[in-house]
Structure 1
Amino acid sequence: MQVISCCFTVCHSRMMNFAGKVVLITGASSGIGAETAVHFARLGADLVLAGRNAGALTKVVDACLEQGKRTPLAVTGNLEEDKHVKSLVKSTIERFKKLDVLVNNAGILEMGNIENTSLEQYDRIFDVNVRSVYNLTMQAVPHLTKTKGTIVNVSSICGVRSFPGVLAYCMSKATIEQFTRCVALELAPNQVRVNAVSPGVIVTPIQKRGGLSDTAYVHFLEEAKATHALGRPGEVSEVAEAITFLASEKSSFITGDSLPIDGGRHAMCPRVYAS
């Protein structure tokens, strides 16, 4: 088994080699973003890691250094601030002279339905999940055009299926789905590819940050066994693998697509039995 595992790692690295490529990842201090950073580091990429939590970001930098010899550029700040977004792109170009891959991963989730939500909640979620993606992509496109680079947006099953209780979040991710398709068509003449991943329930801190208690979160993960065809929630490594694939030359004829990483949840629907 160990021999097979080693062989797979070697073959996998040969399949996707990002040596000489510059990858910018937002929301890189935890969850999917952190794991994606480690995957790209293993594949030889030069990394720019953006996040709000400086301490957590430092730990991700250390994890990346364990996988590769390239020291990532860590940038802390708030993507809701236009000045920070411009500075993030500027710092990337000053350090690495180019940009090949943009991974728009930063996002927040809050519980709320039409009866108890607020415009403040709507604004918070859309500022992070939509406006910052729009803004950063806009700033990055001139540089991605020069390298014929790629963009991978992290959407959600909530962007392609409807769920109660997370109204603004669902709306924000549906917007990212459309944003991905529109920008893919706009940048196709420049040979810049734009795709998304739409994860199902993945074991990350986002639900607890969004308001679930420890007990509710345990129940939420248990429910995932029934709501996902494969009978379990997903792992961050499974999403990271998909992101690196969509950013690589192995997906060179794919653009404008959203890849479900959801254990088949997008294909499911409730069954009602007559009594």
Structure 2
Amino acid sequence: MRVTQRDVLSPSVLSRAFALLGCFPTDGTSLGVTELARRSGMPKATTHRMLQEMIKLGVVDRTGTGYQIGMRLFELGQLANEVRTLRDRALPRLDHLRERTGATVHMVVLDQTDVVYLEKLVGPRGPRVPTRPGGRMPAYCTGLGKAILAHSSTDKVQAVLDAGLERRTPRTITMPGLLIRELATAREMGVAFEWEESTVGLVCAASPVLDARGLPVAAISVAGLGNMIDPRRLAPAVRDTAALISRQIA
């Protein structure tokens, strides 16, 4: 069965295509059609057919017997000019923060109920963490997400609560009331913490980047293993850096 132009443009096919793209791993490794079908929940024949169309469009590449994300998606991502400009302007201060703390530095923006990573600078004391530029994590279980949500509207916070607080580690906050109290504390302190809530062993301190209206446009953090860094000690450096970036973009 051939996928027609009308089929490709239909909302249902577009939704499935994006769902399929979301099944690729964050480390850039390739996957076979059987595994992609399993992850997406689509029939193997449908998955194979969609992959062939994506190859023609350049959004997926064939690698031997597997598939991986293609260069065309990277090119399209570069069209997100506002986000790229924000990252580029913040980068020198992020690099200074990495040198100052020795920890891994992240910068994210909020997209619905997730944070999307714009930058990751690995410090000498930074562990291997499951993050990458362009990757996503649920906002509620990251210090970065909590830093943004602490300064966000009630509607945005409620959307996160409505999506559910799934337990990712034994220390993930899954009670809405407790999360709301943490957000209030983070707003008052100007910094949010994560204590192994998204990844076992990982801790971080994060602060929001605010625009001229005081609304969060991004967040930055330092992260590391709990037995190697103390987020509370590094919090002032994160807060100061976020304030400098905020003044720079205001």
Check whether TM > 0.5.
no
- Give the structure with the larger strand fraction: 2
What TM-score comes out, normalization by structure 1 length?
0.27
- Give the structure with the larger helix fraction: 1
What TM-score comes out, normalization by structure 2 length?
0.29
